[in-house]
Amino acid sequence: MQQFLEATIISVSAQADVAFQRCILPSCGATYGIEDVRVACARCGNLLDVAYDWQRVQSPSSLTAFDAAAIPGTVEAQSGVWRFHRLLPFAQRDQLVTIGEGRTLLQLAGKVAEFVGLKGGKLHLQYEGLNPSGSFKDNGMVAAFTHARTVGARRAACASTGNTSASLAAYCSVTRLLSAVIFIGSGKISYGKLSQALDYGALTIQIAGDFDDAMQRVREVSQQLGIYLVNSVNPFRLEGQKTIMYRVLDGLRWEVPDWIVVPGGNLGNSSAFGKAFAELQHLGLIDRLPRLAVINAAGANTLYELYEKRGLRWNGGQPETDVVDQYYGELDRHQAKASTIASAIEINRPVNLYKCLRALEDMEGVVREVTDQQIMDAKAQVGAGGLGCEPASAASVAGAKVLCDEGVIGPEERVVCILTGHQLKDPDATVAYHTTDQEKFNQVLGRRGVKRASYANRAVAVSNNLEEIIRAIQLYS
Ligand code: F0G
């Protein structure tokens, strides 16, 4: 009870006077109030952070403070995001929205550890697919949605490879607080995700183009029509996504792992994770940071190319922006488009690039790329050894394997791979991997360079005959 009272008193006072927005570039450092709706710094055009005057927030003296059970029925009990409200105190407690997000699972994964090359007990999988809309996006959406509510927005928009749109659509349909306008690349999102947006009643704009095109358009449209933008350029989104790391720590009894491995698309998660750990260290709640590995799909490898091949670094807040401009110029000249079976991360122009570079610097990070073959094999292993995931999520496990094979991650190190989306988000990819139908395999996977399905679990076809069915079971079980 004591804990809860303390939390309530703090959260009521914790808002405009303790939270503000600040340009990520230290050399600019422009600040804005939290009521200011913007996705870029007015002075220099860079991304914004939500920042806090931690002196005025009574933050916990130890992470074990979060062990105290919240009172049943309260927002802290219902939400694995707002359970940590004290670490993202930008809204008053009575404004917090929830649909039960963030009640996810950190699982010790023995069988998958073996595949990756880690000793038993060393690999954990964080199942963010267990969120209400089936992906990690709900962690961030609830925060942006709460902010949208506090500023009186009526409509919210996003461009999406499918999960952000499913999440926004779910929050709109459940709460009825806002209406959703979503932009998707035509034919670019999996049916699981498209079906969610349609079923939840979101206005769905299918653009003849890909995610990068949709992203550009939604920025223009939201500005012109005054619609609240919930993509991860919105700094409030990333505040919610910090809590994924708090729950990982909780799952490890508040011990810091050696590595966090996460797929990289628009680079919101990796950016949020870096901020989460930097703040915890600043508050004296942890004494070291884990290392960060961001994994690109080889067909959408902007971060890998810039960070590992061209040596781009955050450089204490002075990144070489020319390197980025030159690379994007090359993409334009070659009319290069992202292409991977992991459609969630089929992105060439990640909007959070600079924030991610900052996280990589803080967390001594590395970036790797993995092929669609590696992604699909890792995905099959995750399915066979646990609750399963969608292709983009499996990039984390495939990337961890690459880093173990290289010796960058040692077999004794404690690794957490983030599984960002639910297995049922993209059943076409899963079925194509396990199918006996070569044509279907080729159509979905073969055309993307996937040659084998080494871990396939093929259905056994038998005629409708009792004896034959029994024979098949005896033969295969
Ligand atoms: N995994 C899944 C399942 C995703 O849906 C996404 C992003 C990512 C990973 C990449 O995360 O952007 O934080 O680096 N999906 C976005 C969307 C782009 O529109 O749903 P990130």
pLDDT at 6 over 80: no
* Mutational test site, ligand 1, from 125, 130, 133, 135, max ligand atoms within 8 Å of CB: 135
| CA of 265, closest atom in ligand 1 | 14
Q: Partners of 42 in the beta sheet?
A: none
Question: Residue 418: its pLDDT value, please?
Answer: 98
The answer to whether 54 and 285 are in contact (CB under 8 A) is no
* Mutational test site, ligand 1, from 128, 217, 266, 353, max ligand atoms within 8 Å of CB: 266
pLDDT at 2 over 60: no
Please work out whether the CB of residue 262 comes within 6 Å of at least one atom of ligand 1.
Answer: no
pLDDT at 1 over 80: no
Distances (CA, A) of 420 to 97, 111, 137, 389: 22, 19, 8, 8
* Mutational test site, ligand 1, from 125, 137, 367, max ligand atoms within 8 Å of CB: 137
Please work out whether the CB of residue 264 comes within 6 Å of at least one atom of ligand 1.
Answer: yes
Question: Residue 210: its pLDDT value, please?
Answer: 92
pLDDT at 10 over 70: no
∠ CA 338-342-348, nearest 5°, is 25
Question: Residue 306: its pLDDT value, please?
Answer: 98
Task: Provide mean pLDDT across the span 247-263.
Answer: 98
Nearest CA to ligand 1 atom 4: 344
pLDDT at 220 over 50: yes
Question: Residue 59: its pLDDT value, please?
Answer: 85
Task: Provide mean pLDDT across the span 141-163.
Answer: 97
> Which tens digits make up the pLDDT trace of 19-66?
999 999 999 999 999 999 999 999 999 999 999 999 998 889 999 999
What spacing in Å lies between the alpha carbon of 43 and ligand 1's midpoint?
29
The answer to whether 116 and 408 are in contact (CB under 8 A) is no
Q: Partners of 124 in the beta sheet?
A: 108, 416
Nearest CA to ligand 1 atom 10: 265
Task: Provide mean pLDDT across the span 208-236.
Answer: 95
Please work out whether the CB of residue 271 comes within 6 Å of at least one atom of ligand 1.
Answer: no
Share of the chain above pLDDT 90, in %: 95
> Which tens digits make up the pLDDT trace of 276-311?
999 999 999 999 999 999 999 999 999 999 999 999
pLDDT at 384 over 60: yes
Task: Provide mean pLDDT across the span 65-85.
Answer: 95
Question: Residue 288: its pLDDT value, please?
Answer: 97
User: Is this prediction's pTM over 0.85?
Assistant: yes
Q: Partners of 52 in the beta sheet?
A: 19
Burial label, 285 (beta-carbon count in 10 A; 0-12, 13-18, 19+): buried
| CA of 294, closest atom in ligand 1 | 14
SS3 292: strand
Task: Provide mean pLDDT across the span 351-374.
Answer: 98
Sheet holding 179-185, edge to edge: 203-207, 179-185, 155-160, 228-229
Please work out whether the CB of residue 295 comes within 6 Å of at least one atom of ligand 1.
Answer: no
Please work out whether the CB of residue 265 comes within 6 Å of at least one atom of ligand 1.
Answer: yes
Please work out whether the CB of residue 139 comes within 6 Å of at least one atom of ligand 1.
Answer: no
pLDDT at 14 over 90: no
> Which tens digits make up the pLDDT trace of 83-103?
999 999 999 999 999 999 999
| CA of 268, closest atom in ligand 1 | 13
Question: Residue 421: its pLDDT value, please?
Answer: 98
Query: How far separated are the first and last CA of the chain, in Å rounded?
Result: 54
Q: Report the C-alpha gap between 263 and 72 in whole angstroms.
A: 34
What spacing in Å lies between the alpha carbon of 68 and ligand 1's midpoint?
32
Please work out whether the CB of residue 196 comes within 6 Å of at least one atom of ligand 1.
Answer: no
> Which tens digits make up the pLDDT trace of 455-470?
999 999 999 999 999 9
Share of the chain above pLDDT 70, in %: 97
Sheet holding 19-23, edge to edge: 31-33, 19-23, 48-52
Task: Provide mean pLDDT across the span 8-29.
Answer: 75
Question: Residue 5: its pLDDT value, please?
Answer: 34
Confidence of residue 17 (pLDDT cuts 50, 70, 90): confident
What spacing in Å lies between the alpha carbon of 231 and ligand 1's midpoint?
10
Question: Residue 187: its pLDDT value, please?
Answer: 86
Phi, psi of 124 (to 5 degrees): -115, 145
Average of per-residue pLDDT values in the chain: 95
Task: Provide mean pLDDT across the span 114-129.
Answer: 97
pLDDT at 443 over 50: yes
Question: Residue 58: its pLDDT value, please?
Answer: 82
Phi, psi of 448 (to 5 degrees): -105, 15
Helices (H) and strands (E) in the chain — how many of each? 17, 13
For residues 229-247, one letter each, b for 16 or more C-beta atoms within 10 angstroms of the residue's C-beta and e for the rest, the string is bbbbbbbbbbbbbbbbbbb
pLDDT at 396 over 80: yes
